[in-house]
Every structure is written in structure tokens, then in C-alpha cells.
Amino acid sequence: MRRWPALVGVHLALVIVAVATLLPFLWMLSASLMPAGEASQWPPSFLPSRPTLANYRALFQRLDLGRCFLNSAFVAVVSTALALLVVSLAGYAFAKLRFPGRSRLFRTLLTAMVIPAQVAMLPLFLLLREVGLVNTYWGVIIPALAPVFGIFMVRQYALSLPDELLDAARVDGAGEFTIYRRLVLPLLRPILVTFGVFSFIGAWNDFMWPLIVLTDDRRYTLPVALANLIGEHAQDIELMMAGSVLTVLPVLLLFLVLQRTYVEGLTMGGVKE
């Protein structure tokens, strides 16, 4: 029976890693509820002496972070909705509709993924400046509407749709767009939910491009506002922690609710190659 010590050891290791993973979040939450100055007292305490929501009130009333919250929500929702349309059309076509140059085009797209986004950033900024999209939400949203990994995800899933079903609809005289809308979209639902979660979380968390495009602090998304805030309020630990909670909470909740779809989608790209 030498299995017991090993089993206890494995569980102990699991718990230690779990605590190390959660500790920063717990401290963030706890410090966000402390009265101003308590997180920088000696000796330091882990829990607030008198829990207060004053920091959250300051964020919304004095620093207008509620507005940035809405900016982030708008950018994430609109870019996800539009990307779903673009990616579902393209992914389905690459999987199921034969057209000249299809496989060569698809391979080129995949290869282009090694080009880091930063190579495009400076010229893209000049381009957006020409068309007046700098310092607009659309300047953040539009360049990210056709993610290649999304097209890849949908295509891999769409490959398994039965051809007979599509052909039967064609024999019945349905047009290609009708087939996409009435037949294909419902069948693609699981992968579209997965991609939607990916896309929303990605857009919500994105930092470098919004930082470059948005110049007016009334248009900042939450990550940009938070990075800006630490410039002036680095000493206000409790306030900064409340801002971090506000930024992290929506994506964390979304992940907890939809984690199965999220995690399944993640392994698809990695294993099915």
C-alpha cells in the first residue's frame, strides 16, 4: 500500500499551486475593500479591518471609470458580434464551398500568423489617421474583425458538417446564403459560442492597440484607463485594487459560466493539427 503517501503528496502539491494561483486575486479583492492607506501600513494585514466600498465609489464618482467600463463593454460586444459574422461566413466557405484557390488561400492565411501584429501597427496607425479613425471606437474594432485563428476554428468544426445535408438543401432549390443562414449557422452554434467567448475576452483584455488608437481619456477602455491611473495614483493601493477588480471581474465571471466551451475550444486548435 505505498499508494497513499504518493496520493497525499500529489494532492498537497495541487493545493499549494492552487493557493499560489489564487493568492494574488484574494489579496486584490481584500485590499480593494480596505480604507485608504491600510494596505501600506506596518505591520501589513491581509484582511481589511473595516471593509468599505469607498474605493469603488471613488472610481465611479470621482474618476469616471464607469464610463470606461461602458467603453470596454461596447468595444468587446460590437467587435465580437461583427467578428462572428465575418468568421462564420469565411470558416464555412473554406470548409464546405469549393472555389478556385481555396486551399492555397487558406494555407497562406495560416502562414501569415507568424507575422506579429506589431509589424502592422505603425503603418496601420498612419492609415487610420488618413481616414479619421484615430481616437474612435471603430479604430479599435475594425482592424481586429477577421482573426485568422477564428476562421481556422470555425473551418475545423465545419469540416464535419454532412455534405448530404447541404446537397439536399440545394436540390430543394435553396440559395447558398439561405443554406448558410438557415442550416449552417444553427449547426455551427457550439463553435460560434466558443469563438464568441474567446473574442469577447480577447477584446476586453486588449491593451496595446487601444492604447495607441485612443488618445482622449473619455474614450479609454478599462485596461488603458487603469494603466493611465497608476501614473497618478500609484500610492493609492486600495483604489488601484478596486480598479483591478472592476477590470477583471467581467471576464472572470464569463469564464466561470462558460468555462467548458472555452476550454474545449482551446484544445481544438492545439491537438487537431
Partner 1 sequence: MTAAGGNRFSRSRREARAGLAFVAPALALIAVFFVVPVVAGFLLAATDFDIYAVGDPATTRFIGFGNFATLLHDPVFWRALGNTFYFVLVGGPLSVAVSLGAALLVNARLVRCKGLFRTVYFAPVVTTMVAVAVVWRYLYHPRFGLLNQLLAVAGIGPVNWLGDPRWAMPAVILMAVWKNFGYNMIIFVAGLQSVPVTIYEAARVDGAGAWQQFRRLTLPALRPMLVFVGVITMIGYFQLFTEPYVMTNGGGPLNATLSVVMYMYKQGFRWWNIGFGAAVALVLFLIILAGTLLQLRLQKGRE
* Positions 88 through 107 that interact with partner 1 (CB under 8 A): 89-90, 92-94, 97-100, 102, 105
Residue from 56, 77, 72 nearest 205 by CA: 72
Q: Which three cell numbers stand for residue 235?
A: 500610492
Q: Are 217 and 63 in contact (CB under 8 A)?
A: no
What gap in Å lies between CA 27 and CA 47, rounded to an integer? 8
User: How many C-beta atoms lie closer than 10 Å to residue 13's C-beta?
Assistant: 10
* Cis? peptide before 35, omega within 30° of 0: no
Q: Which three cell numbers stand for residue 238?
A: 486600495
Taking the complex as a whole, the smallest distance from the CB of residue 53 to partner 1 amounts, in Å, to 18
Among 51, 61, 181, 255, binds partner 1 (CB under 8 A): 255
Radius of gyration of the chain, Cα coordinates, nearest whole angstrom: 24
Which CB atom, from 62 or from 116, has the smaller least distance to partner 1? 116
**Residue 224: CB partners within 8 Å, gap ≥ 6?**
68, 207, 210, 211, 214
Which CB atom, from 137 or from 180, has the smaller least distance to partner 1? 180
How many residues bind partner 1 (CB under 8 A)? The answer is 96
| Residue span binding partner 1 (CB under 8 A) among the ranges 47-55, 58-66, 188-196, 233-241 | 233-241
Q: Which three cell numbers stand for residue 119?
A: 509589424
SS (H, E, C) 101-125: CHHHHHHHHHHHHHCCCHHHHHHHH
Among 143, 153, 157, 191, binds partner 1 (CB under 8 A): 143
267: left (phi over 0), alpha (psi -120 to 50) or beta: alpha
Note whether 161 binds partner 1 by CB under 8 A. no
Note whether 204 binds partner 1 by CB under 8 A. yes
Among 76, 199, 243, 261, binds partner 1 (CB under 8 A): 243
Q: Of residues 18-57, which lie at the interface with partner 1 (CB under 8 A)?
A: 18, 20-25, 27-28, 31, 39-42, 44, 46
What gap in Å lies between CA 151 and CA 195, rounded to an integer? 9
What gap in Å lies between CA 88 and CA 91, rounded to an integer? 5
Note whether 248 binds partner 1 by CB under 8 A. yes
Q: Of residues 59-88, which lie at the interface with partner 1 (CB under 8 A)?
A: 85-87
Binding mask 171-200 for partner 1 (x = CB under 8 A): -----xx--x--------------------
Taking the complex as a whole, the smallest distance from the CB of residue 61 to partner 1 amounts, in Å, to 20
Which CB atom, from 61 or from 111, has the smaller least distance to partner 1? 111
Which CB atom, from 40 or from 61, has the smaller least distance to partner 1? 40
Note whether 121 binds partner 1 by CB under 8 A. yes
Q: Are 192 and 88 in contact (CB under 8 A)?
A: yes
Note whether 162 binds partner 1 by CB under 8 A. no
Taking the complex as a whole, the smallest distance from the CB of residue 196 to partner 1 amounts, in Å, to 14
Note whether 112 binds partner 1 by CB under 8 A. yes
